[in-house]
Structure 1
Amino acid sequence: MDSHVLQEYLDKHSFRVVVKKRKNYLTYEGLQDRYAYVLKSGIIKTSVISPDGREFNLRYINNLEIVSLLRDEYSQFIDAPFNIRVESEQAELYQIDRVQFWKDINQSKNLQMYVKDYYRERLMYSMKKMQQMLMNGKFGAVCTQIYELYDTFGITTKEGLLIDFVVTNEEIAHFCGITSASSVNRMMQQLKESGAIKMQDRKILITDLDMLKDHIIL
């Protein structure tokens, strides 16, 4: 997915930039909104609420990307498909009138290709995530989520692969559909005792990536 196409489009327009602080929500699932949003800087998290009121995390986003689905081309207002919450100290997002955005997309082949790739990648991600959650079991799901966090925030250090972002066990539980953070605590302790991970300044340090991957059906 070529983000340069999206950046060029944004650079040609003077879209309003919305600034939100940490833990503030940009949208709520089901709330009507007339805008599409593109992350400019910062880290956000998308999530949905189950019928019984539990939160299920979808993914973290930390790069230039459309963060709200576009849905149909003509409705001025649509229901937000998920919650969007700021996880960094602050985040900046371009706010674009969604009907105008679709008009611009339909007039640009490059933007059309970007949007097609965007939906294709989101679909493949969702399918892979569902497969991993169903096939790996709870312990494998936690390992899968740690690996995904490494893929999003990982940096190489002398000690190992550092997930350079503080993620609580409760948040990991919400990503894996596990109701109790204490269950994740036990699994994290098991990974520490096996030598796969350790904690460094409240951040996860992967010390044996192969051992972690042994528990994942990729």
Structure 2
Amino acid sequence: MDHHILQEYLTAHQFPTIKKTRKKYLTYEGLQDSYVYILKNGVIKTSVISKDGREFNLRYINQLEIVSLLKDEYSQFIDAPFNIRIESSVAELYRIDRVQFWRDVNESRELQQYVKDYYRVRLLHNMKKLQQMLMNGKFGAVCTQLFDLQEKFGVPVKGGILIDFIVTNEEIAHFCGITTASSVSRMLQQLREMEAICMQDRKILIKDLEMIKENIIF
């Protein structure tokens, strides 16, 4: 997606921003809201709650991006489609009246294209995530999540790629549909024994990315 279009729109209108601290929720699934939120800086996580009360993580977002789905443009209020929680120490987000946002989109061909690309990219991501969950099994799902994390937070360092963001075993479990953090712990231990990863100051260092990829069906 061409994020400079979104940035130019935000800069031109000087929309207000809000700040939230770590572990605070921006929205809850099913809660009515009248705003569109766009991440300015920080890290947030989207998730949904299953009928049996378990949390399933969808994705981390750490760059300029619309973080709340737009849905019906004619309603002032919509039900939030998922939970949005702050994962960095602080996150700052633009907050825009959703009716105004849609009015602006309808008046700008560039913004219309951006929104179309937004939906297309999100749809492709969700399809890819579902495919990997169904085809890889639990161990492959953990490897898939590590691969995704290094794409989003990876920093090349001596000895491999450091996932420069602390992610707990519980959070990985919620991304992979695994019931317990202890199951993830065993799989990470297996990867350590294979010398594919190691831990560095509570962060995961991927020592052999190819070995991770060997356990993923793309």
Judge same fold: TM > 0.5, yes or no: yes
Using the alignment, how far apart are the partners of 1:145 and 1:119 within structure 2?
Answer: 22
The one-letter code sitting in structure 2 at the alignment partner of 1:154 is: G
- 1:14 is displaced (CA, Å) by 2.3
**Residues 1:166 and 2:166 are matched in the alignment:** yes
- 1:159 is displaced (CA, Å) by 1.6
**Residues 1:28 and 2:32 are matched in the alignment:** no
How many residue pairs match? The answer is 218
* 1:16 matched residue in structure 2: 16
SS of equivalent to 1:70: coil
Using the alignment, how far apart are the partners of 1:212 and 1:119 within structure 2?
Answer: 29
The one-letter code sitting in structure 2 at the alignment partner of 1:139 is: F
The one-letter code sitting in structure 1 at the alignment partner of 2:80 is: A
Using the alignment, how far apart are the partners of 2:8 and 2:194 within structure 1?
Answer: 47
SS of equivalent to 2:29: coil
**Residues 1:117 and 2:117 are matched in the alignment:** yes
* 1:203 matched residue in structure 2: 203
* 1:44 matched residue in structure 2: 44
Using the alignment, how far apart are the partners of 1:185 and 1:73 within structure 2?
Answer: 44
* 2:94 matched residue in structure 1: 94
The one-letter code sitting in structure 1 at the alignment partner of 2:190 is: Q
Using the alignment, how far apart are the partners of 1:159 and 1:14 within structure 2?
Answer: 43
- 1:18 is displaced (CA, Å) by 0.7
The one-letter code sitting in structure 2 at the alignment partner of 1:112 is: Q
The one-letter code sitting in structure 2 at the alignment partner of 1:149 is: L
**Residues 1:66 and 2:57 are matched in the alignment:** no
* 2:7 matched residue in structure 1: 7
Using the alignment, how far apart are the partners of 1:71 and 1:100 within structure 2?
Answer: 14
- 1:75 is displaced (CA, Å) by 0.3
The one-letter code sitting in structure 2 at the alignment partner of 1:155 is: V
The one-letter code sitting in structure 1 at the alignment partner of 2:169 is: N
Normalization by structure 2: what TM-score? Answer: 0.99
Runs of 4+ in 1 over 2 A off after TM superposition: none
* 1:152 matched residue in structure 2: 152
- 1:16 is displaced (CA, Å) by 1.4
* 1:183 matched residue in structure 2: 183
SS of equivalent to 1:12: helix
Q: Aligned-residue CA RMSD in angstroms?
A: 0.4
State the identity %: 73
Using the alignment, how far apart are the partners of 2:204 and 2:40 within structure 1?
Answer: 26
Using the alignment, how far apart are the partners of 1:77 and 1:140 within structure 2?
Answer: 40
The one-letter code sitting in structure 2 at the alignment partner of 1:3 is: H
Using the alignment, how far apart are the partners of 1:106 and 1:195 within structure 2?
Answer: 53
* 1:76 matched residue in structure 2: 76
Normalization by structure 1: what TM-score? Answer: 0.99
Once the two structures are superposed, what CA deviation does each residue of 1:4-53 show, in whole Å capped at 9, x if it has no partner? Answer: 00000000112110100000000000000000000000000000000000
